[in-house]
Amino acid sequence: MKDKLVIGTRSSALALWQAEYVKAQLEKHYPELDISLRHIKTTGDKILDAPLAKIGDKGLFTREIEHVMLRNEIDLAVHSLKDLPTITPDGLIISAISEREDTRDVLIAKGDHTIKTLPEGAVVATSSLRRRSQLLSYRPDLKTVDIRGNLNTRFKRFEEGEADAMLLAYAGVYRLEFSDRISEIIAPDVIIPAVGQGALGIETRIDDDKTRKLVSVLNDAETEICAKCERSLLRTLEGGCQIPIGASARFEDGKFKFSAYVGSLNGERAIRKNVEYQSVTTVESAEAIGVEIANIMRNEGAEDILKEIRPEEV
C-alpha cells in the first residue's frame, strides 16, 4: 500500500473543487494516506482569447496533466470526464468514474427568462458548439456569442457584457455555489448534455496497480455504464468535446434510456435519437448501444454534418 499520493489538477476554482472532493473521498477510505495536489496549467487554461474550436480539440484541458503523469511526477489526475478524449494516451487509463451530478445544462439570464421566453433576437453566450447548435435548432431567432474562461470569469464577463443569457453545465454552477443564479434547468429534450457531463474521470498510469486499486473505491458502477455508453457513441462518430454532439444515458423507471444529438453549427440540420432498453447491466453492452446508435445516426446523415464542421478545427 502506498503512503503518499499526488493528485494532478488544473488550478481553476472548479478543477480544485473536484480535486479536493476526490482527495476528501480517498481520505475517508485511507486516513493514513498523505495526499497532496499539484496544480498544472493546460493549453485550454493558457489561451483565453480564442474560441475553443479554433485552438484545437483533443486533450485541450488534459494533455499537459497526462504528460506530467507519464513522467511519474503525479500518481493520478482528476478531470471533468467531458474534457477527457475518448481515446486515452498509451500508458494511461481511466481507473474510476465518480457518481454523477445532475447532467443537465442551465440558463443564466438577465431577467426572469427561460429559453422559451427569451425575447426574439436575444444574445446567448456559450463556449460550446453543442449548446449553440441545439439552442439555435430550438430557437433559430436567437443569436450566440462566444464566452471563455473559468466559471468565475464567465460570470464576471456575462455581468459586464451585453449578452442577455448564458448557458452552462448545472454541475459546475452547483459545485461553485452559483445555483441562485440559475434561471432554468434545461430539459434534455431541448439541449442534450455533453458526453460524460457531471462525472469526474480519475486517470492513472496503467501499470500503477497500487494507485489503481486505491482509487477503485471511488468508481460508481451505474455512472460508469452510462458514461461509457456515451463515450462509445462519441468515439464511433470520431467527435470531440468541441463538436456539436450530445449524449445522455441514464437509468430511469427501471429502464436504460439513451438520447443522442448531432447537429450543424447553426442548428438547421439536426439528428436526434431516443431509445430505451429493458435491461443493461454491463459496460460492454452499454458500449455496444453507443456504437449501434452512432452508426444509425451516421447512416441518417451525421457523418455529412460532422465533415462540414471538422475543417474549421486546427
One domain, residues 115 and 175: yes
Short-list 184, 187, 196, 170, CA closest to 274: 187
Average pLDDT of span 167-182: 96
Average pLDDT of span 173-187: 96
Tally of structural domains, the chain = 3
CA pair distance 98, 94, nearest whole angstrom: 11
Would 191 be classed as within a structural domain? no
One domain, residues 93 and 207: yes
One domain, residues 72 and 214: yes
Would 82 be classed as within a structural domain? yes
Q: How confident is the model at residue 313 (pLDDT cuts 50, 70, 90)?
A: very low
pLDDT digits (tens, 9 = 90+) for 128-157: 999 999 999 999 999 999 997 889 999 999
**What is the rounded (10 degree) CA torsion for 173, 176, 179, 184?**
0
Catalytic positions, please? 83
Would 42 be classed as within a structural domain? yes
One domain, residues 86 and 202: yes
One domain, residues 37 and 165: no
CA pair distance 193, 172, nearest whole angstrom: 13
The pLDDT score that the predictor gives to residue 43 is 63
CA pair distance 109, 88, nearest whole angstrom: 37
C-alpha cell at position 114: 427561460
Would 192 be classed as within a structural domain? no
Residue 173, C-beta contacts closer than 8 angstroms, at least 6 positions apart: 106, 108, 151, 179, 181, 182
Short-list 102, 91, 274, CA closest to 174: 102
One domain, residues 212 and 140: no
Average pLDDT of span 177-204: 97
One domain, residues 205 and 246: no
How far is CA 137 from each of CA 128, 195, 272, 277, rounded to the nearest angstrom?
Answer: 14, 19, 11, 27
Residues 258, 136, 240, 107, CA torsion sign? negative
pTM of the model: 0.90
Number of neighbouring beta carbons within 10 Å of residue 188: 18
pLDDT digits (tens, 9 = 90+) for 9-49: 998 999 999 999 999 999 999 999 999 999 998 765 555 44
Q: How confident is the model at residue 55 (pLDDT cuts 50, 70, 90)?
A: very low
C-alpha cell at position 72: 511519474
One domain, residues 15 and 76: yes
Would 86 be classed as within a structural domain? yes
CA pair distance 51, 99, nearest whole angstrom: 30
Query: Residue 242 is part of which domain span?
Result: 221-314
Average pLDDT of span 166-190: 96
Would 190 be classed as within a structural domain? no
CATH of the domain at 35: 3.40.190.10
One domain, residues 91 and 132: no
* Position 1 pLDDT exceeds 80: no
Residues 188, 81, 41, 239, CA torsion sign? negative
Looking at the DSSP bridge assignments, the partners of residue 197 are none
pLDDT digits (tens, 9 = 90+) for 118-128: 999 999 999 89
One domain, residues 83 and 173: no
Would 193 be classed as within a structural domain? no
Q: How confident is the model at residue 59 (pLDDT cuts 50, 70, 90)?
A: low
Look at 9-13, 72-76, 97-101 and tell me which has the smallest mean pLDDT.
9-13
One domain, residues 85 and 109: no
* Position 312 pLDDT exceeds 50: no
Would 247 be classed as within a structural domain? yes
One domain, residues 178 and 202: no
For the beta sheet containing 34-39, the strands, ordered from the edge strand earlier in sequence to the opposite edge, are 34-39, 4-9, 76-80, 200-205, 92-97
Residues 218, 104, 60, 154, CA torsion sign? negative
**Mean pLDDT over each residue of the chain, to the nearest integer:** 91
Burial class (CB in 10 A: 0-12, 13-18, 19+), 303: middle
Short-list 87, 99, 103, CA closest to 194: 103
